Amino acid sequence: MRQGWQMEKDFKKEAIKQYLRYFGVWFGVIGVLAALCIALSLGKRENLKAPAERVYDYAGVLTEEEEENLRSHIAQTERKARIHIVLVTVSLPVEGTEAKQYGLRYTDWERNMQDLADDFWDENGYGYNKDFEGDGVLLLHNWYPGQNGEHLSTSGRVEWAFSMYDIDQVLNAVDRYYETDPYKAYMAYVDMVDEMYGRGIRGIVPWAVILILPLVAAGIYAAVNLRQKKAANTTAVNAYVAGGKPVLNGKSDEFVRKTVVTRRIETNSSGHGSGGGGGGGHHHSRSGASHGGGSHRH
Amino acid sequence: MIFRCKNCGGNVVYSPEKHGMYCPFCESEGSQNRQESQTGAMSLCPNCGGEIPLEEHTSAGQCPYCDSYLIFNERVEGVYAPKMMIPFQMGKEACKGLLREKFKKFRFAPADFMSEARLNSMRGMYVPYWFYDYETGCYFQGEGTKVRVWRSGNTEYTETAFYAISRSMDISFRKIPVDASEQMPDDVMDLLAPFDYSQMLGFSPEYMSGFHGEKYNMGSDAVENRANLLMKADALKLLKESYGGYHSVRVVRQDVNVRESHADYGLLPVWKYIYQYKEQEYPFYVNGQTGKIVGTAPISAGKVWGYTITLWGCLTVILTLLNIIMGLI
């Protein structure tokens, strides 16, 4: 009785050993990743070079109070999203020969707006995690009469996360209010960046995938491991035949008749096209940094 | 009868590894001395005199009191004398190794399934078989087609040629094995085949010492139908092989005529391991000559759930951590 009980105890121990031996590597990987996670979250991930200022109202469309409110709102959003959010308003001619006087490269409105936005970002060294190609977004709004419009410059993880559709969504949020209430338009800019970035970046691996993929993999694992190779009949057809083969006494293959059937062959051909995708408005700025972005002109 | 060691008086057994008689007590080889029962009573152990719980068809077994291996004369002599046998070529340890190798990747078996303690219950036994010889004449008549397809311009041509096929052959079958035991499952015994007959020897009781055995308990007439079916299936396959190369064949007539048949009685070596799990028996049979294994491993529901849920949990945690790490970089 005691011996049987001891045996059961040993088998349980063996079962635990087998389990730990089998999942040891998995538990090890989890331990390493968890340690990495802790180390990364404890480690400083900041850009000390970038200025503290986020709101540059050179066009003077905001009151002091509105600017303060915007700064506060941006700071709150930045903490949550871990990106830099910058707003610049100007009133500059950025089109035609007039633009050249301001040191701009082109006579084209859109390309000059892009240059201005990218240069402002790069020269100030913005970017949540680093001062070159760091994570963040900058809205440049030009209020110059007849050249009113915005350009959104994206960098780092925001560039990676924002498609042209996302950029349009942010600019549309600004467009909705800029004429009647610039402050409301820029608050909407900050909110929309937070929302669109939240959708894109916080789902590097979407939660649906994190929940479903392991479930499918575990199901496949169980199904594969439940299968057992059954013993098959391995006796050769001539295993019990004396000499290994029969004695052939007679063999005849006599041609009897022939039939021929004809069929007309129909030929056909077809083709198809395809589309593409990627980070919205990808390009390189004058400093060589990678940016994304897009503009709306009014 | 019992085989005693001339040197130490211990019970001598047949060793598959040494291919000869061996005394496990003094390690002498070929030192066996056959000793008959003094009382003549089959149910009394000739070594210790203990009463053996003898089953109806047992021809060799082990005394439950002194562990001596006994061979019961009445069941290996006279009408029960086997003409031939293949002695065990594979010992218990080798057989355990094969089973462990086969099931080592089966994760969901209970933890003790391949444990030393359980595998030690494995028993080697000589299973009674009838071996059938047949002299047959086989005939086939049918219509075969050969198809050729080619194109010319926009037209595809399909030519079908018809042939009258006939074959006539003599096939001599030797030693088609059919087990003569009611206890052994027929399908499993068929799957354990083939045995290598080049190691077939004349019967000798020495080979049974150290193992269990049964005398035939089904006559050759009772099981011949199975041999006949196996023979006919093989004959038809051989006929079919002889008219290969046709696109399709329609059978008009085929016959397998038995001109002469003959049956001999013999013994074949089989290791048997019965694993008990949740009040159910899981039998495993291993060909004692070739090592072929027949049997299905039990499934531990606890292990299936435990391992699957752990894997699911590990994957979920790893993906979550990766997601967090990517967000932090």
* pLDDT value of position A274: 34
pLDDT at A78 over 60: yes
* pLDDT value of position A153: 95
Q: Where are the alpha helices (DSSP H) in A148-206?
A: 157-161, 164-177, 182-201
* pLDDT value of position A272: 40
* pLDDT value of position A276: 32
Among the partner residues B175, B312, B325, nearest to A218 by beta-carbon distance: B312
Among the partner residues B168, B299, B318, nearest to A226 by beta-carbon distance: B299
Judged by CB atoms closer than 8 Å, whether chains meet at A204 and B326 is answered as yes
* pLDDT value of position B286: 96
In angstroms, the first-to-last Cα distance of chain B is 81
* pLDDT value of position A254: 96
The string of pLDDT tens digits covering residues A172-203 is 999 999 999 999 999 999 999 998 887 655 54
Contacts of B282 in chain A (CB under 8 A): none
What residues pair up with B126 in beta bridges, in sequence order?
B213, B269
Beta strands in chain B (DSSP E): 2-5, 13-15, 20-22, 32-35, 58-62, 69-71, 84-85, 123-152, 155-179, 201-202, 212-214, 248-277, 280-287, 293-294
* pLDDT value of position B52: 86
Residue A253, min C-alpha distance to chain B (Å): 5
Residue B95, min C-alpha distance to chain A (Å): 16
Strand pairing category for B248-277 and B84-85: parallel
**Interface check B301 vs A, CB under 8 A:** no
Nearest chain A residue to B291 by CA: give it: A231
Residues of chain B scoring pLDDT < 50: none
* Structure token pair of residue A12: 């349980």
Percent of chain A with pLDDT over 70: 91
* pLDDT value of position A229: 80
Contacts of A267 in chain B (CB under 8 A): 154
Taking only residues 224 to 263 of chain B, the set having a beta carbon closer than 8 angstroms to any beta carbon of chain A reads: 230-231, 234, 237-238, 241-243
B280-307 burial by CB neighbour count: b if 16+ within 10 A, else e? eebebbbbbbbbbbbbebbbbeebeeeb
Question: What is d(CA A126, CA A285) in angstroms, rounded to the nearest whole number?
Answer: 14
Contacts of A251 in chain B (CB under 8 A): 166-168, 242
More confident residue, B288 or A8: B288
Contacts of A230 in chain B (CB under 8 A): 296
Residue A80, min C-alpha distance to chain B (Å): 12
Taking only residues 12 to 71 of chain B, the set having a beta carbon closer than 8 angstroms to any beta carbon of chain A reads: none
Among the partner residues A14, A225, A254, nearest to B107 by beta-carbon distance: A225
Q: Mean pLDDT, to the nearest integer, of A41-67?
A: 87
3-state DSSP call for residue B5?
strand
pLDDT bracket for residue A129 (50, 70, 90): confident
Question: What is d(CA B218, CA B130) in angstroms, rounded to the nearest whole number?
Answer: 9
Q: Please tell me the pTM assigned to this model.
A: 0.71
Residue B180, min C-alpha distance to chain A (Å): 18
Judged by CB atoms closer than 8 Å, whether chains meet at A259 and B160 is answered as yes
Q: Which of A21-25, A190-194, A200-204, A243-247 has the lowest mean pLDDT?
A: A200-204
Residue B56, min C-alpha distance to chain A (Å): 31
pLDDT at A269 over 60: no
* pLDDT value of position A25: 95
Strand pairing category for A55-57 and A84-90: parallel
Nearest alpha carbon to residue B272 among B179, B204, B215, B189: B189
Query: In which region does residue B39 sit, left (phi positive, over 0), alpha (psi from -120 to 50) or beta (all else)?
Result: alpha
* pLDDT value of position B132: 97
Q: How high is the mean pLDDT of chain A? A: 87
pLDDT at A61 over 70: yes
Nearest alpha carbon to residue B37 among B20, B57, B54: B54
| Cα pseudo-dihedral A161, A163, A166, A172, rounded to 10 | 140
Hunting for tokens 């056909």 — which residue is that? A268
pLDDT at A99 over 50: yes
Strand pairing category for B212-214 and B123-152: parallel
What residues pair up with A82 in beta bridges, in sequence order?
none
Nearest alpha carbon to residue A59 among A175, A172, A168, A183: A183
Hunting for tokens 């059954």 — which residue is that? A230
Residue of A133, A240, A252, A268 best to disrupt the B interface, most CBs of B under 10 A: A240
Asked if omega into B194 is within 30° of 0 (cis), the reply is: yes
3-state DSSP call for residue B72?
coil
Question: What is d(CA A156, CA A134) in angstroms, rounded to the nearest whole number?
Answer: 5
Residue B73, min C-alpha distance to chain A (Å): 31
Q: Which of A97-106, A270-279, B97-106 has the lowest mean pLDDT?
A: A270-279
How many CB pairs below 8 A link A and B? Answer: 218
DSSP assignment letter at B12: P
* pLDDT value of position B79: 94
Residue B150 burial (10 A CB sphere; 0-12, 13-18, 19+) = exposed
* Structure token pair of residue B10: 């211990």
